[in-house]
Amino acid sequence: MIQHILNYVTNYIIPYIITQIHLINPITWIFLFIVSVIFDVTYTKSVLVIARVKARSAANLSVLMYLLTAYGTINYMHNIFNLIPIIIGAWVGTYYILKHEERRRKLWKEKRDKQKQERLYSQENEEVNDN
């Protein structure tokens, strides 16, 4: 059994890897990384937009996601190593957009709390002035 696996690896897997490695193109990797980041930002934004029930925005983001997916798929079908920048870009894109959303929500909460404090302060001043 082990001999069969070793034969398969040496006869098929290693030659396949060797034929694919020379096809790696740094420019393609950069584009795939950028496309992957944009896709994940779009996907995460799409989930947020769908949660807010914004039909037009969700539909537009969906179209963009399909176009980006098609580009990525075509490229990694020609060379499996093109998955590497796609995977890295997916991680970066999701991380970026969620950190951005976290900051946005924190600022929104701080603004809301400040407005609440200002209302309480103005109500207290009105009560003092009424007396």
Give per-residue pLDDT as tens, 35-54.
999 998 888 888 888 888 88
Give dist(CA 95, CA 79) in Å, integer. Answer: 26
Model-level pTM? 0.65
Cα-atom radius of gyration of the chain, to the nearest Å? 26
Count other C-beta atoms under 10 Å from residue 95's C-beta: 13
Q: For 65-91, what is the mean pLDDT?
A: 86
